[in-house]
Amino acid sequence: MSRVFVAQDATLDRKVVFKVLDPELAAAVYEDRFHREIKLAARLQHPHIVPVLSAGEVDGLPWFTMPFVDGESLRARLSSGDEFSISSATRLLREVASALAYAHEAGIVHRDIKPENILLSHDSAMVTDFGVAKALSAAAKPGADSITSEGIVLGTPAYMSPEQGCGDPATDHRTDIYALGILAYEILTGAVPFAGRPRPALLAAHLMETPPDLSERRPGVPESLARLVMSCLEKDASNRPQHASEVVALLDTITSDPGKPAKRPQPPQASIAVLPFTNLSADIENEYFSDGITEELLSALSTIPALRVAARTSSFALKGKNLTAKEIGERLNVESVLEGSVRRAASRVRITVQLINASDGYRIWAERFDREVEDVFAIQEEIARSIAEKLKLTLTSGENKALAKRRTQNFEAYELYLRGRHVWVTNRRIDLAIGLFDQALKKDPEYALAFHGLAECYGSLALYAALPPSVAMPLAKAAALRAVELAPDLAEARASLGYIQVLEWERRAAMENFEKAIELDPRYSVAHAYAAWILATEGHREEAAEAARLAQELDPLSELTNGIAALVLYQARDYDQAIREGERSLELDPESFTGLFATSVSNAAKGNHDEAIRYAERGIAFSPDSTFLLALLGAMNAVAGRKEAARAVLAKLHEAETKAYVSPILFAWIYGNLGDADRAFEMLDRAYDEHSSTLGFGEWGVPLYDPIRDDPRFPKFAERLETENPTWTGVL
């Protein structure tokens, strides 16, 4: 398909892979169309996908670049003759399946999954050449026969699905699931199902023959794994797993011990997942309203102690995914699922809901509400009460009061708050969110949730050094205190106050508020996650690990709980596991600050410098204006010994400092790892004087500071923190 070179990126002092289309192939494609398609492929940013970095054309030959992956191909590993253990094979297949799930969600099918296109870097799988086949076929000139040659668009015969081999124009993402099944078969048995046959016979076998059962070829394979692989190899695409995400979920349940079934905790008698309601309004902008109603129902149902409600982030992680009720029940470990839709027109709203038994898909209850839009509060209460009744839950008088309680009586304030939540959580526009929360408070000055939103927005700006602590922290603290004053029973308000207190270095007070939040709502995963990080930074590793595990159990599909679990492991210097948890966070949200930071610094600490830099660069691609992520890139280059690249970042940060706030902590990371201890401590002293929020979050004890840890000034600085701030208990 292309001529492949290893090149040196002079700007960032790193190796990249430079691919130039074969001249004959280049003549058969429209260059501009190929580049448009490659740009779509370049949007794929996933821990197990080798991304496209750049593209161009020279002398009529299109080219593109990708990161250099230091390792070997899966083909090379298989050719060595070493047998994969069941656990290693399952992990590798899960990584490939997660990459496929992400790409398929973006509308990109690989079409050529095979061992040659899977690279192994430090035993982690990286799928390469995603989107290239699609780009070539989309850009093909009429009658360009070379485009349909083996190994380019039609794929590789040994891994080709029946529909792909027939040239079926309806071939879709399920062809990749078939190829994944072939890949799994080969990894587990050492050979593809129809090995040794010429191309025509091979294509016929994929169409007509059933492969020998996997469990016969390798008797030690768990029955559940063998069954999954054989289901991927179904001739009829409709009989395979319909989405790669289903394969990921099934692989998560498989044990490497063939004598034991995969264990899964049984859900309690009453448990429910509330899926994001579908927006059926003519105006797509009304999605904030349907999402908001979902969140309000989640909050209302969470006040019933006898009902376990799947966490908001885990439920919303399934938004837009075509999963059955049974699949949702298995993934979130619940016995019932609530689905709904919202249609809003002028002053009227129609809300339709149905409660489904997750085990058999049977509809327990359904209802339609046609009301004035301002009746939405009453509708939410009716739905919550109906669910409690249908699940045979008896409510106490206190629980009845909690269901009827409203955080605001002002519908306009409620709408503005929902808009603020939507632009913040969905679009990461903190500036817009702050404006909307402020508007909500003008409509209702005693709206605790709007104060809670402001506190977290300003706290995030302080933590990630987007505003000086002298500006962000007073605003954050005032909003958090007011939220607690107005709603002392609101776990979210207590947790956000604790979060702000951490940034203010008031760690003991923060821990008390996290504990209070957990007391108010034992299932509030965010409070457990924050507590885990504080416990980790204070050296309580076992307690931190348990708190992080509980947060993940309560909210398994949250990028925050998985990202903080990675930070806890990084603090404990368990880098391999930290990388795995960080990548899990990024699978859930490729733009997760926590996941990007944890995965980058953990790779750096382990010596995987190219990987560390790659994750930092991904962060900058998502947030090009973030000095926090730019500094992370500089620090990762410094750790790798790439001093010129690190100094180039320093120069950019100093230039940025002339126009906006740049935290001295960010300079300290880079200077310390460049071996310039004097400048590093100068910056740390400045950070202390500024009362840096980033320093307050406890990153002082992490391996990033190891190069200056033996300097006599290090313990003196730590002693200064502890002496002048009696609530500080940092780790040396």
Q: Tell me, what's the pLDDT at 261? A: 42
Q: Does the pLDDT at position 722 exceed 80? A: no
Mean pLDDT of 98-124: 86
Task: Write down the CATH superfamily of domain 2-67.
Answer: Phosphorylase Kinase; domain 1 (3.30.200.20)
**According to the 3-state scheme, what is the secondary structure of 166-205?**
CCCCCCCCHHHHHHHHHHHHHHHHCCCCCCCCCHHHHHHH
pLDDT greater at residue 267 or residue 687: 687
SS3 category, 269: coil
Q: Confidence class of residue 636 from pLDDT cuts 50, 70 and 90?
A: very high
| Whole-prediction pTM | 0.69
**Known catalytic membership, residue 625:** no
Task: Write down the domain spans for the chain.
Answer: 2-67, 72-252, 271-406, 625-732
Q: For the segment 483-531, what is each residue's pLDDT rounded down to a tens digit?
A: 999 999 889 999 999 999 888 888 788 889 999 998 888 888 899 999 9
Q: Confidence class of residue 36 from pLDDT cuts 50, 70 and 90?
A: low
- Sequential DSSP letters for 280-311: -SSSGGGHHHHHHHHHHHHHHHTT-TTSEE--
Alpha carbon distances (Å) from 392 to 362, 382, 403, 521, 683: 17, 15, 16, 22, 61
Q: Which amino acid, 410?
A: N
CATH class as words, domain 271-406: alpha beta
Q: Tell me, what's the pLDDT at 256? A: 42
Q: Tell me, what's the pLDDT at 646? A: 94
Q: Confidence class of residue 33 from pLDDT cuts 50, 70 and 90?
A: low
Q: Tell me, what's the pLDDT at 729? A: 45
Q: Does the pLDDT at position 728 exceed 50? A: no
Q: Does the pLDDT at position 47 exceed 90? A: no
Q: Confidence class of residue 555 from pLDDT cuts 50, 70 and 90?
A: confident
φ, ψ at 61 (rounded to 5°): -110, 110
Q: Tell me, what's the pLDDT at 255? A: 47
SS3 category, 703: helix
The whole-angstrom separation of Cα 600 and Cα 173 is 31
Site of tokens 């209302």: 300
Strands 336-345 and 278-279: parallel
The whole-angstrom separation of Cα 561 and Cα 564 is 5
Q: Which amino acid, 7?
A: A
Task: Write down the CATH superfamily of domain 72-252.
Answer: Transferase(Phosphotransferase) domain 1 (1.10.510.10)
Q: Tell me, what's the pLDDT at 37? A: 66
The whole-angstrom separation of Cα 320 and Cα 333 is 19
Q: For the segment 650-667, what is each residue's pLDDT rounded down to a tens digit?
A: 999 999 989 888 899 999
Strands 54-58 and 61-67: antiparallel
As a whole number, the mean pLDDT across the chain is 83
Percent of the chain whose predicted confidence (pLDDT) is above 90: 23
Which one of 13, 32, 112, 489 is the catalytic residue? Answer: 112
